[in-house]
Every structure is written in structure tokens, then in C-alpha cells.
Amino acid sequence: MKDQIKVVLNGEFFLLLISLYGIDVSAYIQQQIAACPPKLFSFVLVCLFYRLIKKFQ
């Protein structure tokens, strides 16, 4: 079980997932953002920026 967890947490595994599913995921996200109300999108974006700033302080 530990070996499987190490494989999942490996950076190369994430690169593999991005190469396999990246285009599909990005197309899905783009469709969801286009259908999202502007107020909700703004709120989520502000929350993400807040978390990003707090992480690098």
C-alpha cells in the first residue's frame, strides 16, 4: 500500500495524468466558467487569490 501511495504522490505521475486528461479537464473547466454567474466566479477567484497569498507569506 505504501508503494502505491508513493507512486501517486510522485511528480511524474501527475505529469502523466495531465498529459492524459489535461485537455478534457481544461475544456470542462472552460465550459463551467462560461456558465458560471459573474458574482460567483468573482467570489471564488478572490478566495483563491487569498489562499495563494497566505501560502506564500
36 φ, ψ to 5°?
Answer: -80, 140
Give dist(CA 55, CA 57) in Å, integer: 6
Residue tagged 489535461 (cell numbers) = 22
pLDDT at 12: 78
**Between these two residues, 53 and 11, which has the higher pLDDT value?**
53
pLDDT over 70 at 8, yes or no: no
* Domains of the chain, residue spans: 2-55
Residue-wise pLDDT for 22-57, tens only, equals: 888 888 988 988 888 989 989 988 998 999 888 887
Which residues 6+ apart lie within 8 Å of 41 measured at CB?
33
Label residue 37 left, alpha or beta by phi (over 0 means left) and psi (-120 to 50 means alpha).
beta
pLDDT of residue 16: 82
